[in-house]
Amino acid sequence: MKRIITTLALSVAIAVAIIVIESRPSATTVVEAAPVVRLVSETRCGWLANPTPANWWLTDATGEWTIGEQGGYQAKGIDKIPDFPDSRWVKTNGPHGYGCACMTVTTNKTAMQIVRVIKAWPRPLSACRKDKALKEPKD
* pLDDT at residue 139 in the model: 67
Select from 36, 67, 9 the least CA-distant residue to 58: 67
Burial of 65 per CB tally in 10 Å (0-12, 13-18, 19+) = buried
CA 122: distance to chain centroid?
19
* pLDDT at residue 38 in the model: 60
For the chain, residues with pLDDT lower than 50 are 1-29
Query: pTM of the prediction?
Result: 0.72
33-69, pLDDT tens digit by residue? 666 556 689 999 999 999 999 999 999 999 999 999 9
